[in-house]
Amino acid sequence: MLKKLTEEKLAEVLEAGIAEFAEKGPEGASVKVIAKNAGISVGVLYKYYENKEQFFHACLKKSLSVLESVLHEVTQGEEKLLVRAEKMIRSLQGYSRKNGNYIKMYNVITSVNSRKYASMYAAEIESMTAGVYTEFIERAIKDGDIRDDINPGLFAFFFDNLLTMLQFSYCCDYFNERAKVYCKEDFEDDEMVVSELLKFIESAFTFRQSEIIHRN
């Protein structure tokens, strides 16, 4: 009779899967390698998950649940937008350093080689952050904290692009090297990254169009 895996062991299996998917993508990942690294048999893994795609989905949901808890914690409260933005940036820096494989897995499935996963998972992956960031911006507009002549959905999209690239830059080799080209050693200074990104965000959210002067 199959011995039921504990919650702790199931968590280990998911982490082993995330590491393999992050390295090789959904198509190239080996279930045999995942099972071996988790200390179980392939048969046991398939007792819990019907196939590799279902297991990949479980790994994806695990990574999203961790990110959601991080964002939920820092977007609550009544602070000004830039205060909450600073908390968000700092939390994502910590999340990126602690959970690099989660971000690598996300990066892998955004590639052209994983095109089929775009239609399958894009809405599931992005709807959570889209909702969090759009509500975050709408609340700031309502409170008079930022300019009111913006489209909250588009600004949430642009804001998420900034934070996604920031996470990639901490975890994914190409993006990390790219950051070094632009920032040199400054990118290793988390405090400087926070400070400069907040300046960029503050300008985007606070300058009205009529206040922007284009000089010849």
At 215 the pLDDT is 64
Mean pLDDT of the chain: 89
Is residue 39 domain-resident? Answer: no
Is residue 77 domain-resident? Answer: yes
At 207 the pLDDT is 75
Is residue 37 domain-resident? Answer: no
pLDDT at 112 over 60: no
Is residue 110 domain-resident? Answer: yes
Per-residue confidence band for 192, with pLDDT thresholds at 50, 70 and 90? very high
At 109 the pLDDT is 85
Is residue 14 domain-resident? Answer: no
Is residue 33 domain-resident? Answer: no
What CA–CA distance (Å, rounded) separates 95 from 22? 16
- Domains identified in the chain, total number: 1
- DSSP secondary structure letter of residue 39: T
Q: Give the pLDDT confidence of 138-191 residue by residue, as tens digits.
A: 988 998 888 888 999 999 999 999 999 999 999 999 999 999 999 988 888 999
pTM given for the model:
0.87
Is residue 47 domain-resident? Answer: no
Q: Give the pLDDT confidence of 46-59 residue by residue, as tens digits.
A: 999 999 999 999 99
What CA–CA distance (Å, rounded) separates 188 from 193? 8
- Its domain, for residue 174, covers 60-208
At 113 the pLDDT is 67
Is residue 54 domain-resident? Answer: no
Place of tokens 């899967």: 17
**Average confidence (pLDDT) over 27-41:** 94
For residue 200, give the CATH number of its domain: 1.10.357.10
At 203 the pLDDT is 87
Determine whether 215 is exposed, middle or buried from the number of CB atoms within 10 Å of its CB (0-12, 13-18, 19+). Answer: exposed
What CA–CA distance (Å, rounded) separates 37 from 213? 58
